[in-house]
Structure 1
Amino acid sequence: MGFDFVRLKRNSFRLNMAGKRHHFIPQFLQRGFASLGDVHNAWVFHKERSAINTNIKNIAIEGQFYAHEGDTSVDDKITDVEGSLAAFVTKLCGAPDGTAVDSHKAAELINHSLVRTRHVRQNFQRTSEQLLRKTYAALMDPEKLTAVLIRHIQTDENFPNLVRKRLVLELANVVPEEQIAEAVEALLPAAIQHLAAAMPDEIRRTAPDHARALEAEAKMAFESSLLREAVKQAHLKALRLPSAPTTREDAFAELTFEVRRFAEGDIILGDSVAVYAVTGERKVTPLNDSATPMIGVLLPLDPETCLIGELGEPCESFSTAASIRRSIAECSLEFFVAHRDSIDNRQLVADIGKSAHLLSQDDVDDIMKSLNLAGDDTHPN
């Protein structure tokens, strides 16, 4: 086979993720793609840098990636399960082509490897930043800001309650306490009508000041680490959840899994780790949701071996080594790992990121339209 030395190394490898340097792609997966003749190193092909052969301990690593303000509970939780998952991967790598795999064990391995990645965190951060930038850009236009606020007061079901609260405050020192409620209800219709008519002019008058304030707020938000820290904390919160099977694992468990081998396939390991096959315009994606039904999932194990789960019919994207390599590269956000340097791998770098996004540009535009923040539909009537 040519890769037995990797499996032997996996068996003897003692997992030890605890510390300041956290691997966001498990080392027990990376070691399947160790360089020929050197089980300690692997090749990294980065979207924006030259290919490099380096020690696996330095690949897919970030300081305190799973820790926050001294809390290492996520790191500890991940470390606790890595031993059994590594042993499972070793077993899979030694299995013959076509070996059936327990769907629940496969689901646990894939879900663990997928949700912990930097790819997930970076993708959510980039998507959030993209939406925030577009929102700020729209609202920093005084005319658009005016249109949005006017539309809000005209359609907000809570507007009467806000007027009611304002009346209570204004009548507190004028009307006896026991008569306030009755007075408020008597005055409410006229107050709502008056404010609804007067507020648009007030909004138009103050919109430029609000727009300038939003511009300063946007500058602070994007120049600071606020968004990055917020996404990190949200990711860690999700990883802290109890280890009971997740909705994603339940979906994986519906698939039929088997070990599939591709002789001299030069399979690579992407930074998304796993790849989904889906129905829709995109054939593969690093993450899926209810809007993009999953029909299969793939986890590369070594240059000749993949764990593949399929729902019914075989997935075209997982049918050949070439289609698998392309799918993995397209779903990678920044880099992929390989066991050797080659012209084919260097050319494959051009495909990195093609299918890595959570939202397409059309998805983003649809969201902005739903918020009345796209095109000319934001301008006041």
Structure 2
Amino acid sequence: MLASKGRTLAGRKQHYIPQALQRGFGQVVGDATRVFVFKKGQQPYRSSTKGVAAERDFYSEPSEEPSLDDKITSYENLILAPAIAALRESPVGMIDASAAAAVVVHLSIRSAFVRGSLSAAATEVLGNFAFALSSNESARVLLEIDSLESDSMLFQVIWDGILERFGSIPESGRTALGKLAHFRAREKFPQMLPDLAQVVLQQFRLLLDQIPELIVSGHSRALDRDMAPLMRVKRLKTMSWRIVAAEPPNHFVLPDCLAIGSTKADFSSMEPYSLLNDEEFTCVVMPVCASKVLVGCFGTTEIDPSLLNRAFAKCSLDYFISLRDDPSTAEVAQFIGDSVSHFLDDLVKTRTFDAPKKNCQFEVQPPDVKGSAQEPLRTPIRFEPSSRKSGKAQAALRRLMSAPELQTGMLVVETIVVTDNVARSLRVRGQALNEYTSQSVRLGTCHVSRGTDQGISCQLFLTTESVRSVASGHPDMRTAAALIRHQAGRATYYAAVASQIPTEVLSRQRPLLEAAGLHIATSFSSHYFGGRLSGLGTISAEEFAATDIHCCEALLRCIRELGSARLHFIENRDADAALGHAFLNVEQFLCAAATACATVGGSMERWRTSKSIKELEAVSLGDWFELFALDLGRLFEKRASLSTDKELVLLGSHVERVLWSFGVVVSSPTPEQIWMDVLEDSQLESTLVMLRS
């Protein structure tokens, strides 16, 4: 102790676990009390309490004015030490809640454990931030790049910038500009990430260097405001408190967190009390000496004292103090830090920084068209005309459709129709088809016969030619089998969406533009599922070249038609006709693009040098194509865990993005309307420049 101007000051070695408490866990040797210190991963050692749980200037440096350590020393001498002594001398049984509450709260918040656990938590979280920035997928999750929510990080940055720079333009213009900027940021993110990560990591390193000082100053300010926060004390006062003794020859250790708590009434799953919220815990335990613990709980739950030392060890961050160095104490010492480690893991898990995990529910294999030991398909098969019916064809088709990865979809398939003319078979069943639709189903289709409000039910329509090719072992049977499985894969999409996303979510009222986007997203997403589950596996260079030619032709047709939608509106000012034409062709465009994305299992390497990508780049959709594949792949990987429509709504927004490249801007001035604007030639050129930049 020091003296200054007639007042007594604390020394520079300041105890964050007061010696008044430590002495209850030691043995008097001469004029000192000696305790055993069990540190994590080290051999125990014996030391005087003068050197244990103390640090130079832990609370404050010496000062002419009353310091924080002076205030704590005064609190110890006047209140804390007498209270600890009284608790130790209390007989086993019920005690006053007020004294117990104040002692537990003060001791638990003043310790180095608070600083150490906060520092570990901050370091762990920032470390996971840094790790998340090491890959495109996890960085997108961390920075909320692909979120359409208005409170997402990217959304807020974009809208703040637009309001600052373009606050004077009409709201509809700001909305369109914001959507465009958001999409472009998503498309260019892989190229932006290295520079962005470097800047962010520099800031993280600076912050990591500042964390210890920030935590020390924050902890000190909190203690200076209140030695025992009133709300915490009030919560503990409502508990029933009692003294529980150890059964000889057992003894209690003192954890560096001082008090532990549980969220369960049976005292299971004990955690450091200072890491629990006031609303969480139902019981609290703190040792007051080697032979007694202070127990507070709601109710009269019994506690097993013999299990407490392991809990005390687990809840310690670095060490615990003990009266003895014996085998049982050494045995529990191996658990030091376990609870804090779990706390840090849970803390990091509250924010998902990892890329979506691969869904291994279905491993897609090349189709077995010659034989299979799998459970045969029992879905009814109809041939139209019936004269085409063949036992060999049925057997081949049943084998093909019995693949494990297709079974989720086949559960919702009522009938498989093998027909010479798919369009005719659909018309016989009352489906109205225009020329475009007739052409789009020429090679087969998956027709949804009931909507999500009554549950999904599908019919698969396959061509007689493709089924015959598989049954006869024709040289084209691999391609034919892929066409057939493509439709079963589409059924898997409908089954996955129907079974995972609640009906009330899918059928809820939503703005008309969002509903239209969702409808189109359902169509092209099913084609993506069909392509991923078609069973082609790794395709050869020749097969990819043929796919590229076919895809390029389909995309070019749609590109021409989408361009004509804008011109039609400029010439005729018929918004309904132009909008219908635009939506019809953007759906066909997206279906073709989705099938292309799926052809190589979601990998973009081959497409980057393809003919198709060159045509897309000509209309500023080259970067978009890779983003489209990423969004579709995310939906596919999450197919077994979907619970909301967020992924589908995000995919539906691609409708607007594609239309921008053709000078068509759609919006919703009211939830019941879709408004269409078209850009003049100069505006279109400026927009294309923005979409290429």
Query: Is the pair's TM-score, using the shorter chain for normalization, greater than 0.5?
Result: yes
Quote the offset at 1:297 in angstroms: 1.5
Quote the offset at 1:151 in angstroms: 2.4
Aligned residue for 2:24?
A: 32
Aligned residue for 1:273?
A: 258
Q: Quick one: distance in 2 between partners of 1:254 and 1:186? A: 56
Q: Quick one: distance in 2 between partners of 1:286 and 1:127? A: 14
Deviation per residue, 1:51-110 (Å, 9 max, x gap): 111111100111222127979743222112102211121122222222x32111110011
Aligned residue for 1:164?
A: 163
More divergent stretch after superposition (146-155 vs 50-59): 146-155
Q: Secondary structure at the residue paired with 2:238?
A: coil
Quote the offset at 1:135 in angstroms: 1.3
Is the 2:232–2:278 Cα contact (8 Å) retained in structure 1? no
Q: How many residues align?
A: 343
Deviation per residue, 1:14-58 (Å, 9 max, x gap): xx8823211111111001112265552111111122211111110
For the pair 1:88 / 2:83, whether they are aligned, the reply is yes
Is the 1:34–1:40 Cα contact (8 Å) retained in structure 2? yes
Aligned residue for 1:248?
A: 232
Quote the offset at 1:227 in angstroms: 1.6
Q: Quick one: distance in 1 between partners of 2:62 and 2:180? A: 51
Change (3 A) 1:74 1:286: same
Q: Secondary structure at the residue paired with 2:261?
A: strand
For the pair 1:368 / 2:361, whether they are aligned, the reply is no
Change (3 A) 1:359 1:282: farther
The aligned runs of 1:213-362 (5 Å cut-off) are 213-222=199-208, 224=209, 226-243=210-227, 245-262=229-246, 263-279=248-264, 283-287=269-273, 288-290=275-277, 293-316=280-303, 319-320=304-305, 322-357=306-341, 359=343, 361-362=345-346
Is the 1:123–1:357 Cα contact (8 Å) retained in structure 2? no
Q: Quick one: distance in 2 between partners of 1:142 and 1:306? A: 52
Q: Say which of 54, 58, 61 aligns to 1:65.
A: 58
Aligned residue for 1:19?
A: 11
Is the 2:146–2:186 Cα contact (8 Å) retained in structure 1? no
Is the 1:282–1:355 Cα contact (8 Å) retained in structure 2? no
Q: Secondary structure at the residue paired with 1:151?
A: coil
Letter in 2 for 1:374: D
Is the 2:240–2:297 Cα contact (8 Å) retained in structure 1? yes
Is the 1:93–1:305 Cα contact (8 Å) retained in structure 2? yes
Larger-Rg structure: 2
Deviation per residue, 1:360-379 (Å, 9 max, x gap): 534522x232xxx2232799
More divergent stretch after superposition (349-358 vs 69-78): 69-78
Q: Percent identity?
A: 23
Change (3 A) 1:283 1:144: closer
Change (3 A) 1:215 1:346: same
Q: Secondary structure at the residue paired with 2:293?
A: strand
Q: Quick one: distance in 2 between partners of 1:61 and 1:77? A: 17
Q: Quick one: distance in 2 between partners of 1:22 and 1:356? A: 25
Q: Quick one: distance in 1 between partners of 2:175 and 2:320? A: 64
Is the 1:124–1:358 Cα contact (8 Å) retained in structure 2? no
For the pair 1:52 / 2:45, whether they are aligned, the reply is yes
Quote the offset at 1:269 in angstroms: 1.0
Task: Give the number of the structure with larger relative contact order, counting CA–CA contacts within 8 Å between residues 6 or more apart.
Answer: 1
Unaligned regions of 5+ residues in structure 2, if any?
1-7, 359-626, 632-693
Letter in 2 for 1:118: A
Is the 1:286–1:331 Cα contact (8 Å) retained in structure 2? yes
Q: Quick one: distance in 2 between partners of 1:186 and 1:97? A: 73
Letter in 1 for 2:286: L
Q: Secondary structure at the residue paired with 1:124?
A: helix
Aligned residue for 2:185?
A: 199
Q: Secondary structure at the residue paired with 2:334?
A: helix
Quote the offset at 1:186 in angstroms: 7.0
Unaligned regions of 5+ residues in structure 1, if any?
1-15, 169-180
Q: Quick one: distance in 1 between partners of 2:342 and 2:114? A: 9
Is the 1:154–1:196 Cα contact (8 Å) retained in structure 2? no
Letter in 2 for 1:117: S
Is the 1:264–1:303 Cα contact (8 Å) retained in structure 2? no
Q: Secondary structure at the residue paired with 1:306?
A: strand
RMSD of Structure 2 on Structure 1 (CA) = 3.1
More divergent stretch after superposition (304-313 vs 199-208): 199-208
Change (3 A) 1:196 1:352: closer
Change (3 A) 1:30 1:131: same
Letter in 2 for 1:86: A
TM-score for the superposition, normalised by structure 1: 0.79
Q: Say which of 208, 225, 228 aligns to 2:194.
A: 208
Deviation per residue, 1:151-202 (Å, 9 max, x gap): 257644644443121125xxxxxxxxxxxx4x45574244334423433344
